[in-house]
């Protein structure tokens, strides 16, 4: 599983998007969605295949792979 940043429209029903992500094989991390103007960012754990399904959701604007910082 990788971590993804999933961007959705800020007026979207985040709970229904979380359910759709779950149905597509991903899970939304237990972090508050981050509002960014007209968009909201969710942190999601999902496989590559699940991320592609999530990206095809009409309410999703974009899906980006997120890499955690390397430990020092």
> What is the rounded CA–CA span in Å between residue 20 and residue 22?
5
Confidence class for position 7, pLDDT limits 50, 70, 90 = very high
pTM of the model: 0.79
CATH architecture label of 2-66: 2-Layer Sandwich (3.30)
Closest Cα partner for 46 from 38, 57, 35?
Answer: 57
| Cβ–Cβ under 8 Å, residues 9 and 47 | no
For 25-36, the pLDDT digits (tens) are 999 987 777 888
- In whole numbers, what is the pLDDT of the chain averaged over residues? 86
Give pLDDT, residue 30.
77
Give pLDDT, residue 29.
87
């Amino acid at each position: 599983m990788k971590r993804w940043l999933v961007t959705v429209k800020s007026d979207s029903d985040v709970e229904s998007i979380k359910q759709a992500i779950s149905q597509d094989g991903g899970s939304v991390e237990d972090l508050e969605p981050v509002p960014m103007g007209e968009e909201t960012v969710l942190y999601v754990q999902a496989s590559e295949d699940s991320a592609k399904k999530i990206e095809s959701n009409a309410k999703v604007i974009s899906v980006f792979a997120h890499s955690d910082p390397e430990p020092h």
